[in-house]
Each structure stands twice: as C-alpha cells, then as structure tokens.
Amino acid sequence: MALLEVNDLQTRFRTDDGIVKAVSGVSFSLEKGETLGVVGESGSGKSVTFLTVMGLVDMRHAQVEGSVRFDGQEILGASSSSLQKIRGSRIGMIFQDPMTSLNPVKRIGWQLEEAVLLHNDVTHAEARRRSVEILQEVEIPRADARIDDYPHQFSGGMRQRVMIAMALINKPEVLIADEPTTALDVTTQAQILRLMRKLQDEHEMAIVMITHDLGVVAELANDVLVMYGGRVVEQAQVDHLFAKPEMPYTWGLLGSLPRLNVTSERLEQIPGQPPSLLHPPKGCSFNPRCAYVFDRCRQELPELAAGAVGDEHRFRCHLPDEERARIWEAKKAALAAEGSAA
C-alpha cells in the first residue's frame, strides 16, 4: 500500500468572476522513501494540489472532490483536529519564499519549539534541545547561539535551512517541498538539494518536490508528474521521462533547459500563455500553444493513457504514437547537432 495515494483530486474555487478549476483530476501515489517530482508552470495547479492534500485551502471558497489516502486513512475532508495532528508531524511542508515564510517577530527557537510542542508532550527544555539538534543537522553553524536570533538576522539560504529544520523536526514521513530553492542562488540551491537528499537517506522520508526546474527534478526525483492547466499531462519514472518524453508540452519544457555544452542564442520558449483556469480551452488545454495541434485536439480532451512504452509512462496527447516518436527523434537529432556544433 502506498504511503500517500491521491485519486482524481479536484479543487475548484468560487470567485466573483466564476468558478476557477485549479485542479481537475490529479492522481498519483507515493511510496515510502521515494521522491516525486512535480513539474509545471505557474498556474498549472501543482501547488494547489498539495495544499489541498494538506487541507490548507480555504474551504469557504473551495470545492474539493476526490480521495487522498495517507497511510490507509482518508484525509480529504477530514476534521481540522485530525488534520492538525498530521500536519507538521507526519507530513511536513516547506514553501518557496523563506523571507516571508517565517514569523518575523518570533525567535526561530520559539518557532521550532512550537513545532515540537504542538505534537509532543515534552518540556520546553527538551523542545529546545531538539531544536538545537535539528539546526545542527541542517548545518546551521553555532546553532546553540543562533537559535535565539530572529529570522531577519539570517541569510536567505540559512532561512530556508531553518524552514527545512522546522518541517523535519518531528521526523515526518512525507516532506512536501513547494519550490524550496527557487528564491535562492545556484550555489545555495545545490547545497539545499544536497541537504535534502542526505536527510531523506537518514530518515527514510518520502519527498514531493514541486518545481518548475527540470534540473532539480533530474537530480532528485524517482517519479515525475508533469502538470498543465490543472491536470497531469505526463507521468513517468524520471529516466523514462527524460529519455523519451511523449507530450509536446514536455518537449517544450525540456527544450527550454539550458545545457552546458550548448551555446544557443536563445532558449527555446513555449509560445503563448498558460490557460485560463476560469474558462479553460475546449478539448486539450494545451491546444492553443501546441505546434502539432489538429482538429481533434480542439474537440476532445485526451485521456491520461499509457503509450507504447508501458503502463508506467502515461500522457495526454492525441498524436498517434508513430508521429510522436518521429517528432521526438527529430528533436533529439537537432539537439545533438547543436551540441556537436559548439
């Protein structure tokens, strides 16, 4: 049985302008100790999916459907008290901007202890001890002194480490990381990722890595979800995805990756804008931007189905398999040509 199993998750928001379909049928499963990469543009629904999983969406404005099973228990729509027991102790979540994600007027020691005391019946001294320990684990130097500092006294990278510490202090089984390194510089990013891998090994923790950065995914993930317009449009093991992506959107994503051995004049962009979640396009939501669009795309939403490769690798596209294979080969050749030209 998977640790976290999500089935046909749907999240809709009621707004003054109408109903926004942020998440329209996302399913996946996550095993213990594994890393799931979730890739997509802003507005693809990747963050909302996991906020919904955690029960952190504003239920006054949202309609949620589907199923989320954690360790066998259905937690979607569960009571706040049962969700509060899980959040921060069995499932941890860290967010994008460490500058604003920490309470500026409370010492980080207080914030870490809060995480401990919410879920453990221990003394303050014990909570403090654990806080110092976790700070040391995330490689904050002089943790016993710095524990009494305020967030604004830390650099961005340090703050993110603190966030991670706070999420991990109760040794959760799942860590959901929503763009944890986007706000950081490349060097720090590398350090953070390395840290996360180390912690995962030590604690046997499952990680969900939400990002728009495929490089991060390549480094960390076992499985990958590609999301677009509130849906999963491609789903595969990481090697398979990079070896043979099956969907024009994924091709675009990969094409826009900078490569060290290629000096192109411009990164390949996917033309156009992400779809409006208020009035999504009829048929395949990628059809306005797809270079390979044809009539059926505009009429019918493609199912998430497995292709020729196998049941593990699924995607949404109406293109016939041969077409798809041909296009990808052509792209691969072009990329190789660029590489050798440099």
Report the interface residues with another protein, using CB under 8 A.
Answer: 54, 56, 80-81, 84-89, 92-95, 97, 100-106, 114-115, 118-119, 150, 152-153, 163, 166-167
Closest approach of Cβ 263 to another protein, in Å? 38
Other CB atoms within 10 Å distance of the CB of residue 8 = 12
Closest approach of Cβ 84 to another protein, in Å? 5
Closest approach of Cβ 87 to another protein, in Å? 4
Closest approach of Cβ 159 to another protein, in Å? 11
Residue nearer to another protein on the CB measure, 95 or 249: 95
Find the radius of gyration of the CA atoms of the chain: 21
Which has the closest alpha carbon to 128: 139, 143, 112, 149? Answer: 112
**Under 8 Å between Cβ of 49 and 28:** no
Closest approach of Cβ 196 to another protein, in Å? 17
Residue nearer to another protein on the CB measure, 88 or 229: 88
How far is CA 340 from its chain centroid?
A: 34
Across the chain, which distance is largest between two alpha carbons, in Å? 67
Is the alpha carbon torsion for 185, 186, 187, 191 positive or negative? positive
Dig out the tokens for 140 from the structure.
């904050």
Which has the closest alpha carbon to 129: 141, 144, 140? Answer: 144
* CA dist., res. 125 & res. 298, Å (int): 62
Closest approach of Cβ 102 to another protein, in Å? 6
Three-state DSSP state, 75: coil
> Which string of DSSP letters, residue by residue, matches 142-154?
THHHHTTS-GGGS
Residue nearer to another protein on the CB measure, 113 or 234: 113
**Under 8 Å between Cβ of 259 and 296:** no
Dig out the tokens for 51 from the structure.
């906020």
Residue nearer to another protein on the CB measure, 90 or 331: 90
Sheet holding 62-70, edge to edge: 18-30, 4-15, 62-70, 73-74
Residue nearer to another protein on the CB measure, 85 or 240: 85
Residue nearer to another protein on the CB measure, 155 or 256: 155
Closest approach of Cβ 259 to another protein, in Å? 33
**Under 8 Å between Cβ of 70 and 4:** yes
Element (H, E) at 269: none
Element (H, E) at 261: none
Residue environment code for 272-289, b if the CB has 16+ CB neighbours within 10 A, otherwise e: eebbebeebbebbbbbeb
Residue nearer to another protein on the CB measure, 83 or 306: 83
Residue nearer to another protein on the CB measure, 119 or 171: 119
Residue nearer to another protein on the CB measure, 17 or 265: 17
* CA dist., res. 38 & res. 245, Å (int): 15
